[in-house]
Amino acid sequence: MALSRRLLPLFLRRGAPAVRALSTAAAPAAAVASEEEEESITVKGVRISGRPLYMDMQATTPVDPRVLDAMLPFYLSRYGNPHSRTHLYGWESDAAVEAARASVASLVGADPREIFFTSGATECNNIAVKGVMRFYRDRRRHVITTQTEHKCVLDSCRYLQQEGFEVTYLPVRSDGLVDLAQLEDAIRPDTGLVSVMAVNNEIGVVQPLEEIGRICKEKGVPFHTDAAQALGKIPIDVNRMGIGLMSLSGHKIYGPKGVGALYLRRRPRIRVEPQMSGGGQERGIRSGTVPTPLVVGFGAACEIAAQEMDYDHRRVSALQQRLLDGIRAQVDEVVINGSMEHRYPGNLNLSFAYVEGESLLMGLKEVAVSSGSACTSASLEPSYVLRALGVEEDMAHTSIRFGIGRFTTEEEVDRAIELTVRQVKKLRDMSPLYEMAKAGIDLKSIEWSQH
């Protein structure tokens, strides 16, 4: 008896994790083994007091409640396939899809017949880059893009290279912008496509679309732009900017994930070879049933963006200034990556000298930020975008991208400043490099001994 009493606490202690593991297994809906207790959350072994404040708007944005409100009916009673031609269910879905198409088109100054719904900007970029080149493969063998494009454009270009096409990856200036003279020189008689993204996902710089469009028009080359990060945030007009093809995404503008749209110019007509074979939906450009609820949500998000662009822009600009001033007032040697003048203010990419990026991010558990793009944050390599800007490797390693959006509050910005400053100061206090730099030693002159 005495023995068992002594054993009991031991048992209990060992039993506790097993019970916890069981409880998460019993709730398969919780995809991540996260535990939400009243006081704290534990995910992947990290314990935090509450849900972090969200400042990763370039990765994705929260769904606007007005968007969800528009979508829900199509998840409930209005479940028809928009391609069903024989009954009401199909007709009402079709009408909703066409209304959404008009909303998307109107936000970019296009004709609804030029909008093709896809699964997202990655698919659009694939259709645009590979599709155009494959369609015109007999006469056009050359593609121009930039070194700071999104991975899916670069990978599509690599794929084309394997098929025997030639690709020019234009370098960018140290402010992240493409050199227009260099672009013009790179265009050849057999250039089939110029692909330059509108707003960079990592550093937020806005490329001179209008000028690029003009050059492409003069040379008779289709201009494709990946506008996933630009839609609803900066004004886009496909005619004024001479855009031939454009990739758009739903979840970057407070819409649902899993939907996007490709803009494809009708006059002069630009044709692409489809990637998907099937039922010929979306005029054969993108076969597969159009997901009505997602498309309706995307349409609603575009409509709201059109109404709210000025209001959001004013607010986001003010918050960006607040964030930058707040950090700069308390921490020195902070560098903004990318042009400040030609920039979407909802993206502030900062490098903190003498601080290790991963340690900084891990210390900022209560702020959901990223060091760059979500696609590449799994690797420890510094961002290729920052490298293309000529940012030194040590500075590229310490970058943090703060994303500000429609739902960000002043208090969140203030908290982000406070936590970032605290963490940077803490890491610098531990850093011998910072101490040496403060003592006036030029770190580049040091010859480190090899191991």
Partner 1 sequence: MAAVAAPTRAEVLSLFRSLLRTAKQFSDYNIREYTRRRAADAFRDNRALADPPAAAAAFAEGKKQLEVARRQAVVYSLYAPKAKSVMELKVQ
Is-contact 170 146, C-beta < 8 A?
yes
Judged by CB under 8 A, does residue 138 bind partner 1? no
- Tell which one of 25, 46, 50, 87 touches partner 1 (CB under 8 A): 50
Is-contact 226 244, C-beta < 8 A?
no
- Report the greatest alpha carbon distance in the chain: 94
- Tell which one of 11, 16, 20, 69 touches partner 1 (CB under 8 A): 69
**Three-state DSSP state, 407:** coil
**Residue 133 vs 369, nearer CB to partner 1:** 369
Binding mask 411-430 for partner 1 (x = CB under 8 A): xx--x---------------
Residue closest to 323 by CA, chosen among 345, 295, 290: 345
Is-contact 84 289, C-beta < 8 A?
no
- Tell which one of 65, 189, 278, 284 touches partner 1 (CB under 8 A): 65
Say how far apart CA 194 and CA 188 lie, in whole Å: 11
Residue closest to 235 by CA, chosen among 210, 216, 261: 210
Q: Which residues pair with 352 in a beta bridge?
A: 334
| Range in contact with partner 1 (rule: CB under 8 A) among 142-150, 338-346, 404-412, 430-438 | 404-412
**Residue 184 vs 366, nearer CB to partner 1:** 366
Is-contact 89 78, C-beta < 8 A?
yes
DSSP state of 282: G
Whether the upstream peptide bond of residue 62 has omega within 30° of 0, thus cis, is no
Q: Which residue has the tokens 């199909």?
A: 90
- Tell which one of 72, 375, 441, 446 touches partner 1 (CB under 8 A): 72
| Range in contact with partner 1 (rule: CB under 8 A) among 141-149, 273-281, 316-324, 408-416 | 408-416
DSSP state of 81: -
**Three-state DSSP state, 46:** strand
**Three-state DSSP state, 53:** strand
**Residue 37 vs 442, nearer CB to partner 1:** 37
DSSP state of 370: B
Least separation in angstroms between CB 233 and partner 1: 17
Judged by CB under 8 A, does residue 41 bind partner 1? yes
Say how far apart CA 287 and CA 274 lie, in whole Å: 8
Collect contacts of 182-187 with beta carbons under 8 A, ≥24 apart.
183/144, 183/212, 183/215, 184/215, 184/219, 186/144, 187/144, 187/215, 187/216, 187/219, 187/221
Least separation in angstroms between CB 366 and partner 1: 5
**Residue 70 vs 129, nearer CB to partner 1:** 70
Residue closest to 116 by CA, chosen among 292, 284, 296: 284
- Tell which one of 9, 14, 38, 449 touches partner 1 (CB under 8 A): 38
Judged by CB under 8 A, does residue 407 bind partner 1? yes
Amino acid at residue number 338: G
C-alpha separations of 59 from 124, 342, 346, 368, 370 in Å: 17, 20, 12, 11, 9
Judged by CB under 8 A, does residue 23 bind partner 1? no
| Range in contact with partner 1 (rule: CB under 8 A) among 11-19, 63-71, 192-200, 275-283 | 63-71
Least separation in angstroms between CB 35 and partner 1: 9
| Range in contact with partner 1 (rule: CB under 8 A) among 62-70, 87-95, 128-136, 204-212 | 62-70
**Residue 147 vs 330, nearer CB to partner 1:** 330
Judged by CB under 8 A, does residue 220 bind partner 1? no
- Tell which one of 68, 186, 334, 335 touches partner 1 (CB under 8 A): 68
The footprint of partner 1 on this chain (CB under 8 A) covers a number of residues equal to 27
* Window 89-118: residues binding partner 1 (CB under 8 A): none
Is-contact 382 396, C-beta < 8 A?
yes
**Three-state DSSP state, 449:** coil
Judged by CB under 8 A, does residue 37 bind partner 1? yes
Least separation in angstroms between CB 89 and partner 1: 23
Least separation in angstroms between CB 49 and partner 1: 6
* Window 340-399: residues binding partner 1 (CB under 8 A): 366
Judged by CB under 8 A, does residue 66 bind partner 1? yes
Active site residues: 375
- Tell which one of 21, 311, 362, 430 touches partner 1 (CB under 8 A): 311
| Range in contact with partner 1 (rule: CB under 8 A) among 12-20, 32-40, 158-166, 220-228 | 32-40
Region of 348 (left: φ > 0; alpha: ψ -120 to 50; beta: rest) is beta
**Residue 211 vs 366, nearer CB to partner 1:** 366
Q: Which residues bind partner 1 (CB under 8 A)?
A: 36-38, 40-41, 48-54, 62, 65-66, 68-69, 72, 311, 366, 406-409, 411-412, 415
